[in-house]
Amino acid sequence: MKKQHVTIHDIARELNISASTVSRALQNHPRISKATREAVQQLALKYNYQPNVMASSLRKGRSKTVGVIVPRINRNFFANVIGGMEEVLTSAGYHMIICQTLEKVNHEMFALRTLVNARVDAIIMSISMETKDHEHIRILVDKGIRVFFFDRICEEIRAGSVAIDDRLGAYLSVRHLLEQGYRNIVHVAGADHINIYRARKEGYLEAIREAGIPVRDSWIIEESLVPEGGKAAFQKGMKLAPRPDAYFCAGDYAALGILQEARNRGLKVPDDLGITGFANEPFTEFTEPSMTTVDQRAGEMGVRVADMFLKDVDRSDEVHSMERIMLKPELIIRKSSMLNK
């Protein structure tokens, strides 16, 4: 096991110059003579010198690291966002430290603390399901820590964010159902305190109103957006009058539950029942029938929020941006909503 790392001091010693000269030579400082500069750079290359990031970070007060907080890494959407961020950040010389909250607010607070503690240059996050109060985030923003949100953003806090237009996505989806001829459309909604679910509900309402259909509160069923939630919603839907002929779900997994339950009850999709989901989870392409859903452009979202951070980094600390980007969602029409009339 050899000495692990070459330092500027090693190079300095070998060339009989000072470490500061080496440091400057490596940065192409104009005051360093061409001869010295070249000698240093050559030797650095020869020894494959790599600056110690920790030392440099300590001195410069920035770590070239971005903290990322997501509810779950293994959720397709988040994994895709992270993938997008990674490509951008890595090529800009940044690292990502990733934490998951598992939807718990105390995990979220812990993650924030450790990231601040690690002196990350920014935190990019999507808030947990449990997070209703945002004080723990606001405190950091007030301290001058750069925070960016994606997807599940927090409107009360002055911070940059990237999300898709959930309202539009929902609106397009419901309008599509209406165009197909479905009339009695139930909305299986997510928790109302999360902005994205609220926006989806609003998009639903907008489309329904626009079609001149009266809005009935009992047609909005809030459930956990998992297959079981979908099944529960289906049960509740069975008791409604008139009988629903379509379900617009705020999540694909809930839509899947509806699909399964409909099959169990002998209802044919899409003929007896139209179903649309939200998120374009990979499985939606392969269900029988394949499922209409809304793509959230996860990869692009990651790229955009990472870009936003990078643009911001270069500015002075005082003008921390708070641009709010909204991506257009894409309605993916598949068989579960195609009435061939």
Residues that bind DNA (CB under 7 A): 5, 7-9, 16-21, 23-24, 26-27, 29-36, 49, 51-52, 55-56, 58-61
| Closest approach of DNA to the CB of residue 163, in Å | 35
| Three-state DSSP class for residue 264 | helix
264 binds, among DNA, its own copies, none (CB under 5 to 8 A by kind): none
Nearer to its own copies, 111 or 168 (CB): 111
> Whole-angstrom Cα distance, residue 9 to residue 7?
5
Give 16 or 91: the residue with its C-beta nearer to DNA: 16
- The span from the CA of 206 to the CA of 200, in Å, is 10
Nearer to its own copies, 113 or 183 (CB): 113
Residue 238 interacts, among DNA, its own copies, none and using kind-specific CB cut-offs from 5 to 8 Å, with: none
Q: Tell me the pairing of strands 246-249 and 220-222.
A: unpaired
**Tokens 């923003």, located at residue:** 141
CB of 40 to DNA, least distance (A): 9
CB closer to DNA, 28 vs 74: 28
Query: What span, in angstroms and rounded, lies between the C-alpha atoms of 298 and 337?
Result: 23
CB atoms inside a 10 Å sphere around CB 149:
24
What does the binding site for its own copies look like in residue numbers (CB under 8 A)?
A: 1-2, 4-5, 50-55, 57-58, 63, 65, 72-76, 79-80, 82-83, 86-87, 90, 95-100, 111, 113-114, 116-119, 142-145, 256, 281-283, 285-288, 298-299, 317
Q: CA–CA separation, 14 vs 297, rounded Å?
A: 53
Cβ proximity to its own copies: between 143 and 239 the closer is 143
CB 273 within 8 A of CB 338: no
Give how far the C-alpha of residue 120 lies from the chain's centroid of Cα atoms, to the nearest Å.
18
